[in-house]
Structure 1
């Protein structure tokens, strides 16, 4: 079984979510459920920290794109932290994720 961690840090009306490990087909649904639970109607901004993410496959990308679409509908600002030069950042860039959210380092 692959392991992913989703740690939520509420910061007033904002939420910082730190994701680590591996997100793939095996655990994508669980990760998506954790992300959904972390964002309430009172949330005004989400920072998604992917610095500790070691692996992200297409199922994981689907989770991130779905999150971006949900936040757009709810008019919640999203910032994604992915270190320059990391494999996660490269996957996000190749997938076109920057059309959903800007990537910060």
Structure 2
């Protein structure tokens, strides 16, 4: 069984969300539900912290793309903190996710 952690920290009108562990087909739906519940419509910006994310497969990528699409519709800014040289950063770059949100470190 794979596990992922989703830790939500509201910061005024913004939300910071740290995702750790592994996001794959087995738990992607749960992670997606946790992300949706963590972001009220009146949020100004969301920052995803992915430093502790060890594994991300195509189902996990779908979760992040769906989140980016939802935030775009709601006009909520998305930032992604992901360490340079990490596996997760490379996956996001190869998938084209960088076109939806800036990858910061």
Q: TM-score, normalised by structure 1?
A: 0.99
Where do 1:23-42 residues align within 5 Å? 23-42=23-42
In 1, Cα distance between equivalents of 2:79 and 2:100: 10
In 1, Cα distance between equivalents of 2:78 and 2:98: 11
Counterpart for residue 52 of structure 1: 52
Query: Runs of 4 or more off by more than 2 Å in structure 1?
Result: none
C-alpha displacement of 1:42: 1.7
Counterpart for residue 99 of structure 1: 99
Supply the RMSD in Å over aligned alpha carbons: 0.4
CA deviations 1:45-96 (Å, max 9, x no partner) are 0000000000000000000000000000000000001100000000000000
List alignment gaps of at least 5 residues for structure 1: none
CA deviations 1:9-32 (Å, max 9, x no partner) are 000010000000000000000000
In 2, Cα distance between equivalents of 1:42 and 1:68: 16
